[in-house]
Amino acid sequence: METFLAQIQRQAFRMAQLATGNEADALDIVQDAMMKLVQRYQHKPSDEWRPLFFRILEHRILDWHRKETLKRRWFFWKKPTDNEDSDEQIDLLEQHPDDNEPIQEIATRQLSEQLLDTLRQLPVKQQQCFLLRSWEGLSVAETAHAMGITEGSVKTHYFRARQKLQQVADQHET
Amino acid sequence: MKREPLTPDDPDSRLDNQVRHALNVSLETISPRQQAQLNAARRKALASRSASARPAWQGWMGATGLATSCLIALLVLWPATNTPTLDGFADVLPLLELETDEVELIEELEFVYWLQEQDKVAREQG
């Protein structure tokens, strides 16, 4: 179990961070998902841990979003508080341009930054759908199970996410 | 958990690869502080396992205790549920509560009523 959690913790953290835009909340979500997996499902076969973990993680992320939406509705006069607990702006690619960096690498890095920025701005279901399908390699059925939505919804969210990301990639090439 | 096949020439798969690459590179930029926090979270999660796990004997004790409680409850409640009710003797119940003297008084009253009846019959015949 320890090896599994060590393998998965950074990706889980990044997924939660993209969804929340907040480092502290992302850490809380990941820790909570880990605890629930350990406490409730440690007796399950190890090949079931991965889908179970992502199911817990997705529920926590979507739950966080529901609470945030509710909070924003009640405290509508406050500005969105992304990163308010964090003393640093989230920069997922903190590499800075090097004078000797080949042009191709600079272009790739810029595209990566734009893609991650677009991914961060996607509606949470589109974003998580894309991450589970494309990054975690979950099937449509597994993604639907993890997110608690239908397979049809998964396909729709995934398609819309790809459309937006494709636009960014196309713009970058032109 | 198998990835659905993606063809490298497909522009969609190219997009997937670009985003995956960006995400994988972003993992390398997780700071040592964040990594330490994640490690601490993992340790805490694993520690919760040992805290929540109970020794086997505690499980047996719990099961035995539960079975004993059920048995005692059954023994206590069983006679209560099988005691015959006195619903059919509602008319007699007030008499059961009377003292011996009061029963004698009632018998006297019945005798007095009987005498009165006898006198009434005799007058009607006479």
**pLDDT score for B9:** 42
Judged by CB atoms closer than 8 Å, whether chains meet at A93 and B29 is answered as: yes
pLDDT band (50, 70, 90) for residue A102: confident
Min Cα distance B76 → chain A (Å) is 38
Which segment of A45-59, A75-89, A157-171, B30-44 scores lowest on mean pLDDT? A75-89
Residue A161: closest CA among A129, A139, A137, A132: A129
Interface test with B, best of A1, A3, A4, A13 (most B CBs within 10 A): A13
Residue A88 has pLDDT above 50, yes or no: no
pLDDT in tens, B65-112: 888 888 888 888 776 666 666 566 666 666 566 666 666 666 677 777
Could you say which residues from 118 to 157 on chain A have a Cβ atom under 8 Å away from some Cβ of chain B? 119, 130-131, 134-135, 137-140, 142
Name the 3-class secondary structure at A150: coil
Looking at chain A, the whole-number percentage of residues with pLDDT higher than 70 is: 85
Do A162 and A133 touch, CB atoms closer than 8 A?
no
Residues A108, A93: Cα–Cα separation, whole Å: 12
Interface size between A and B, measured as CB pairs under 8 A: 108
Q: Residues of chain B whose C-beta is under 8 A from some C-beta in A?
A: 1-4, 11-12, 15-16, 18-23, 25-27, 29-30, 34-35, 37-39, 41-42, 44-46, 48-49, 52
Task: Give chain B's count of helices (H) and strands (E).
Answer: 5, 0
Give A-chain residues touching B38 at CB under 8 angstroms.
9-10, 13, 27, 30
Of B2 and A6, the structure prediction assigns the larger pLDDT to A6
Task: Calculate Rg over the CA atoms of chain B.
Answer: 45
pLDDT band (50, 70, 90) for residue B62: confident
Do A34 and B41 touch, CB atoms closer than 8 A?
yes
**pLDDT score for B83:** 61
pLDDT band (50, 70, 90) for residue B27: very high
**pLDDT score for A38:** 93
Judged by CB atoms closer than 8 Å, whether chains meet at A51 and B1 is answered as: yes
pLDDT band (50, 70, 90) for residue B8: very low
Residue B53 has pLDDT above 60, yes or no: no
Report the mean per-residue pLDDT for chain B. 74
Of B1 and B110, the structure prediction assigns the larger pLDDT to B110
**pLDDT score for A87:** 43
Residue A84 has pLDDT above 60, yes or no: no
Judged by CB atoms closer than 8 Å, whether chains meet at A39 and B44 is answered as: no
For the record, the structure tokens of B91 come out as 């008319």
pLDDT band (50, 70, 90) for residue B124: confident
In A, minimum Cα distance to B51 occurs at A39
